[in-house]
Amino acid sequence: MQAVSLFSPSFARHYLTTMRPYLMFVSGITGLTGLAFAPALPFLKTAVLFVVFFLSYGFGQALTDCFQIDTDSLSSPYRPLTQGLIRKQDVLLVSLLGLGLSGVILTWAAPINLPLALLAVFGLATYTYFKRRWWAGPFYNAWIVLLLAVIACTAGTGHWPQEWLGSTNGILTGLMVFFGYANFVLVGYFKDVSADRQTGYRTLPVVFGFKVSAVVSDGFALIVLIAFILFVRFNIRAFQLPALLFGLTGIILLIYTQIMAHRVHSEDQAYKAVAPVVHTYLLILGSVILTMKPQWAIFLIVFYVGFVLVMKARPERNQI
């Protein structure tokens, strides 16, 4: 099958599929988490930064896909890149341009973001190497996402984010971001065990199986839960109804995720644990954001509803 031209209208459609729109909400909520620690910004600046964070996950996903076509051809044959509908060099070009433009905007917001953005791109470009090591994959992915939250706070404040890094709220939120995302990555590996095994990716489920991986996942989830409970305790007076609803729903789905993770015995069942872990990440961070910025409640409700709708429209139910 011949690949479409970079300038073909079909390329944009195929590239959007490669970006995984339903997961761009992950980077969107992570960016908003960082911005929530910054003082109030003008609406236009907040909107521009949000779009940058929202799209960054998509550009990053497309970039990393270029380096793992081997395993994706087995586990995700529906993707345009694995079908040969778009060329690897074109996807690389668009992804790097998108990430580069994002870096320019973030550097405009705060010059210190330039080295941080370059570090994030380096992390994305080298992720495949670490995914092959069972001890590294979730942690390597998680530090990149945590860095995104720090970059967001820096973009909002215009300087090194001591509002985040030097506060109890910031440390607890950092734990939620890091281990919440690491849990998503680990549970996500459940759906790709056969393909990863055939292509030399020694992920935790490949090396130790589903049961051990589920126990490790429990450890990640427990850290998130403890960090969130402590966050609530220190900010109980600031909690309003929207933050409470987001938080309670997130905790319920966190527990449900771990129950389903222990029930996964084959790859075709993995989505039952992967789907709720994404919801959990969005809801718990949404609760944190609404504690810091309760005026964002309507937007976050619309944001979460949009995520639910886009998730339902994903091309493959088993792929998240």
Is the distance from CB of 117 to CB of 103 less than 8 angstroms?
yes
Question: What is the predicted pLDDT for the residue at 268?
Answer: 84
Q: Alpha-carbon distance 220 to 232, whole Å?
A: 19
Q: Per residue in 20-37, pLDDT tens?
A: 898 899 999 999 999 999
Q: What is the mean pLDDT of residues 109-123?
A: 90
pLDDT band for position 63 (cuts 50, 70, 90): confident
Question: What is the predicted pLDDT for the residue at 252?
Answer: 97
> In the chain, what percentage of residues exceed pLDDT 90?
63
Q: What is the mean pLDDT of residues 293-297?
A: 95
Question: What is the predicted pLDDT for the residue at 163?
Answer: 67
Place of tokens 């580069």: 100
Q: Which is it for the CA torsion 107, 128, 266, 214, positive or negative?
A: negative
Q: Per residue in 66-75, pLDDT tens?
A: 888 877 777 7
Q: Per residue in 205-237, pLDDT tens?
A: 999 999 999 999 999 999 999 999 999 999 988
Q: Per residue in 245-267, pLDDT tens?
A: 999 999 999 999 999 999 999 88
Q: What is the mean pLDDT of residues 170-182?
A: 97
In a domain, 145, yes or no: yes
Cα angle: 189, vertex 170, 168; to 5 degrees = 125
Is the distance from CB of 261 to CB of 273 less than 8 angstroms?
yes
Task: Report which residue type is found at 189.
Answer: Y
Question: What is the predicted pLDDT for the residue at 319?
Answer: 63
Q: What is the mean pLDDT of residues 90-114?
A: 92
Copy the structure tokens of residue 312: 């339902």
With a cut of 70, say whether residue 1 has pLDDT above it: no
In a domain, 202, yes or no: yes
- Label residue 294 exposed, middle or buried (CB < 10 Å: 0-12, 13-18, 19+): middle
In a domain, 319, yes or no: no
pLDDT band for position 238 (cuts 50, 70, 90): confident
Q: What is the mean pLDDT of residues 269-288?
A: 95
In a domain, 128, yes or no: yes
Domain that residue 222 falls in: 9-312
Question: What is the predicted pLDDT for the residue at 84?
Answer: 85
The reported pTM is 0.91
Q: What is the mean pLDDT of residues 134-162?
A: 91
Copy the structure tokens of residue 60: 């990053």
In a domain, 35, yes or no: yes
Distances (CA, A) of 199 to 14, 58, 70, 81, 131: 25, 24, 7, 17, 12
Structural domains of the chain, count: 1
Q: What is the full DSSP assignment across 116-146?
A: HHHHHHHHHHHHHHHHTSTTTHHHHHHHHHH
In a domain, 317, yes or no: no
Copy the structure tokens of residue 199: 């292509």
With a cut of 80, say whether residue 162 has pLDDT above it: no
**SS3 string of 164-208?**
HHCCHHHHHHHHHHHHHHHHHHHHHHHHHHHHHHHCCCCCHHHHH
